[in-house]
Amino acid sequence: MDRIEWNFPRNEDLKAKNLIIEYNQFDFSKIWTFTENNNVLGIIGDDHQRLKIKLISVKKNSNNPNEYFVTGKSCVKGTICDFSGTINLTEIKELKELHFGVDDEYADKGIKAQGILIADYEFKENSEQKHSGIFKGKLHSKWYLNSENKIEYDNIEFISDGYLNNAFVGIWKSYSTGKEKICNWSDYRVPITNRDFDIGAGEFSPSEKYFDKGWSEYKPLVKDEWWK
């Protein structure tokens, strides 16, 4: 199920112009570390093995306003790897009409703009660690510009069914074998999965069919600081 299709604004809802140059002055780094890690949900491989991933630091490149340096950790079947890499912005588009949430609760917050960004990401795991490789793909994120001219994580529609943000969709490629596996993660849901994987309506809920792939231990309210 492609949750990006119905979770992110469609082209007809967006202004046509790519505003990437106009947004060079802003820093998007904090939107990718905003969400509690127990709500960052990912899969790796056709069998939808659970992937835990944590972006530990994200810093804007002072010499390239569209590039962000990233460090983090990944965990699959208890194997933890360090990684580092980049997020490179390719598109920034604004919504034609602002969304203010349920009962217009954000209507008086002074929001100046709202939109999506699309980026390329590449995170390289430490090749000296076991079962390591490279994460690579496309990132979609929702953001808004607040009254103080700062970029904020757009969780205005958070209570709507199936909400997700920061959708990383791509592949993981093994250093040792060269084989590629599908690898997708995002905040609150997994963006693209088998139709029988996520059986939750309003909130994420993995099917029992996938419990032996690391999902039996999933507890949304329990903080698991596995990367420390």
d(Cα 120, Cα 86) in Å, to the nearest integer? 8
First to last CA, the chain: 33
Using one digit for the tens of pLDDT, what is the confidence trace for 105-125? 777 778 999 999 999 999 999
**What per-residue confidence (pLDDT) applies to 1?**
43
pLDDT digits (tens, 9 = 90+) for 24-61: 999 999 999 999 999 999 999 999 999 999 999 999 99
| Confidence band for 4, pLDDT divided at 50, 70 and 90 | low
Collapsed DSSP state (helix, strand, coil) of residue 93: strand
Percent of all residues in the chain with a pLDDT value above 70, rounded to a whole number: 96
Q: Could you tell me the two tokens for 119?
A: 């980026």
- pLDDT (average), residues 99-105: 72
